[in-house]
Amino acid sequence: MFLKSLQLIVCLTIIFNERGALIASQNVEYPPLSESMWNYVGETLEWESREPKNRENVLVEYDFIVVGAGSAGAVVASRLSEIKKWKVLLIEAGKKALHFMDVPITAQLLQASEYNWKYKTIPMNTSCLSFDEHRCKFPRGKVMGGSSVLNYMIYTRGNKMDYDNWAEMGNEGWSNDDVFKYFLKSENANLSTSDVNYHRHNGLLSVTDVPYRTPIAKAFVDSGSEIGLPVIDVNGKNQIGINYIQATMKNGRRYSTNTAFLFPARTRSNLHVKKESTVTRIIIEKGTKKAIGVEFVTNRKKYRVFVRKEVIVSGGAINSPQLLMLSGIGPEEHLKDIKIPLIKDLPVGENLMDHVALGGLSVLINDTISLKTDRLLKNPFNTQDYISNNYGPYTIPGAAEALAFFDLDRPGSLDGHPNLELLLISGLFSDNDYTHRLFGLKTEIYNQVYKKTENMDGFTVFPMIMRPKSKGRLWLKDANPFHYPLIDPNYFADERDLDVAVAGVRIFQQMLKTDAMKKLDAQLFDTPLPGCVQHKFDSDAYWKCSARQISFTIYHLSGTCKMGPVGDPTAVVDPRLRVHGISGLRVIDASIMPEVPGAHINAPTIMIGEKGSDMIKEDWGIRV
C-alpha cells in the first residue's frame, strides 16, 4: 500500500475535484520507481521543510507587521527582516504551500482547491453572461506565496510608458527610470535569448524559458513573424512583438514569491510567520490616527498584536481594500451604511482594474498535439520525463505558451505602448469534463457549443485588453470580516474596450492565414454562442457580444487603493505608499497601481514589494 501510494504521489497524475480534494488517475500503468523518482520523494520532503515554520505564539509587539504573504507581502517581509534589529511578523490567512503546486501544468487545477479564495463578481448585466449566475470567478491565492502560487507564472514587466504615466500623475519616484532597477533587483534570469541590457542574474526570483514547447506554440510565433511581428524579448527595450513566454520557474518548477523570498529567510530569528490567521481589523488610535497594531483570528480565537513602527497591508486588490474599510478607512457614506465608525474618508475600493479578455476564440487543428489532460495522464512517461529531466509537457504553465503585444493606436510602430495582447493557451475549453466548471461556464452552454470538441485537438487565443478604459469597484457586504466583499469589475462599460477585443480577433485571423497555421490545418471554431445568435457569426457585433458572454479575467485585479499625491481626491496612498491621513500604515501590493500596466502583473507587483521595502528602510534611516 505504501509503495502504491508513493508511486501515485511521485507520478503526480493528479487532478482536483470541486472540493479541492486530491484524487489520482486509476487506470494508468505506472513505471517502476527509478532512482530519480526516489530522489524526487526526498526533494519533496526537503522542499516542505524549507518554508518558514508557523509561529504558534506571537510576541506582544513587533517593529513591523505585514498582512498577507503573497506576491508583494512575501517580498516585503523578506526585505524588512534583512535588518536584524527589526522584528517582523508576517500574517497569512492561507496554509503552507505544497510541493506539487510547483508542477506548472497544474496551475489551472489549483483554482478548484482550498488554496483559492474563490471570489466571484456580483451578477453582471453586460458581461460574464455565459457564466453561472452571470458571475465571473476571480481566483486569488490563499496560501503562502499568494497568487504567485496559483498564477500561470508569466513574467512580463510592462512598458516604460506605463510607469512614466504613473509619474506624470503626480507619483514622484515611480517613472520607468525609478522602477526599472527594482525589476532587476529581484531577477535571476536564465534565458536562451534576451536583450542582455535588460536582465540581471543575481536576484532571488528565477526567470527562465519554459523548457518544453508544443508545435502549436511554434506555429503561433511563426505565424506572428509571417504577418510582420518582430520576435522580441518581451522584457527588453520594446514590447511590440511576439515570443514564447518567460516564466517564474526554475528547473521546470514554479518559483513563487514564497520559494524565492521566504525560503531564504526561514532561519532568521527576527522573522515570525503566522499562518491560517485572518487579520480582521487594523487598530488605529482615533485621536492621533496612528496605526498601532492589528486584530487577527486563528482557529476562531481573536488575538491582538501591536507594532512599534508600521503596519504594512499586502493583501492584494480585494483583501487590502476590504481590510482598510473594516478598519474605518473608506468612503464615508458606505461605512456609515454598514455601521463601521469612520476614521478616514478615502475612496477605498474604487478604481478597480483588470485585464479582461474575449474568451471564446477557439481553433481546431488536425494533429494530436494539444495539451489534453487525459492524454497527458495516460502517458506515465510524461511524469518520468518531468522528474528525471525537468522536461516535458508538465513544465508548461497551465498550457500558456506564447504571447504577442500590439499598439493599435500606432500600428507598425515597434516602440509603441501595448493596448492589446494575444495570449496562446495550447488547449480547448473541452480539454476535460471539469475545465469549464473551473471557470464557471454554464453547463448548458458548454454542452451546446463546446462538448462536440471533446475528442478534437485545438487551442485557444485570448484577445486581452491591456489598457482598459472601464473601471469597477468593490465594497463591503457588511461589517463581518469573514463575508466576502461585493465586486463589480464593470467590464466593457466603456465600449472602446470592445473595439480592442475585436481588433484582436481580426489580427489573429490574419495569423490563421499564414503558412505556419496552414500546416496545422487550423480552423476557427464557428459554432455561435447561444447568446449571440442574433448577430452574424464573425461580424464585429458578434465578437462584441461574445466578449460580453465569455468575459475572461486574466486575474490582474489592481488599483483599489490607488496611489496619488496629496490633494488627489481619487487616491488612497501617497507616492511613498502611506495611507493618506493615517500614520504608521502603508499599502504595498497591486492595489496601489494608479493605472494597470500592460503586463501580467505578478512582476510589477513584486517590483512594488521591492520598492516599497526600500522606501520603508529609507524612512527609518536605513541606507539602501
Q: How would you write 556-584 as a 3-class SS string?
A: CCECCCCECCCCCCCCCECCCCEECCCEC
Q: Is the separation of the CB atoms in 347 and 572 below 8 Å?
A: yes
* Domain boundaries, given as residue ranges, for the chain: 63-97+143-207+253-276+315-352+558-623, 100-139+211-244+354-472+494-553
Q: At 373, give phi and psi (nearest 5°).
A: -55, -50
Look at strands 61-67 and 88-91 and give their pairing: parallel
Give the model's pLDDT for residue 3.
38
What end-to-end distance do the CA atoms of the chain give, in Å? 55
Domain 100-139+211-244+354-472+494-553 has CATH 3.30.560.10: yes
Per the annotation, binding residues are: 143, 279
Rounded Cα gap, residues 291 and 310, in angstroms: 7
Give the model's pLDDT for residue 20.
37
Torsion, Cα of 336, 485, 315, 61 (10° steps): 50
Give the model's pLDDT for residue 15.
37
Mean pLDDT by 10 residues, the chain (624 residues): 38 39 42 59 76 95 99 99 99 96 91 95 98 97 98 98 99 99 98 91 98 98 98 97 98 98 98 99 97 98 99 99 99 98 99 95 96 87 91 96 98 94 96 82 95 96 98 99 99 98 99 99 98 98 98 96 98 99 99 99 99 99 97
Q: Could you give the 3-state DSSP secondary structure of residue 428?
A: coil
Give the model's pLDDT for residue 49.
83
Cell numbers describing residue 308 = 512599534
Beta-bridge partner residues of 119: 138
Give the model's pLDDT for residue 6.
39
Regarding pTM above 0.85, the answer is yes
Residue 48 makes CB contacts below 8 A (sequence gap 6+) with 96, 98, 99
Give the model's pLDDT for residue 108.
86
Rounded Cα gap, residues 230 and 155, in angstroms: 19
Quick one: fold of 63-97+143-207+253-276+315-352+558-623?
A: FAD/NAD(P)-binding domain (3.50.50)
Per the annotation, binding residues for FAD are: 143, 279
- 10 Å CB burial of residue 296 (0-12, 13-18, 19+) is buried
Give the model's pLDDT for residue 37.
60
* Catalytic residue numbers, as ranges: 556, 600
Common-topology check for domains 63-97+143-207+253-276+315-352+558-623 and 100-139+211-244+354-472+494-553: no
Rounded Cα gap, residues 96 and 172, in angstroms: 37
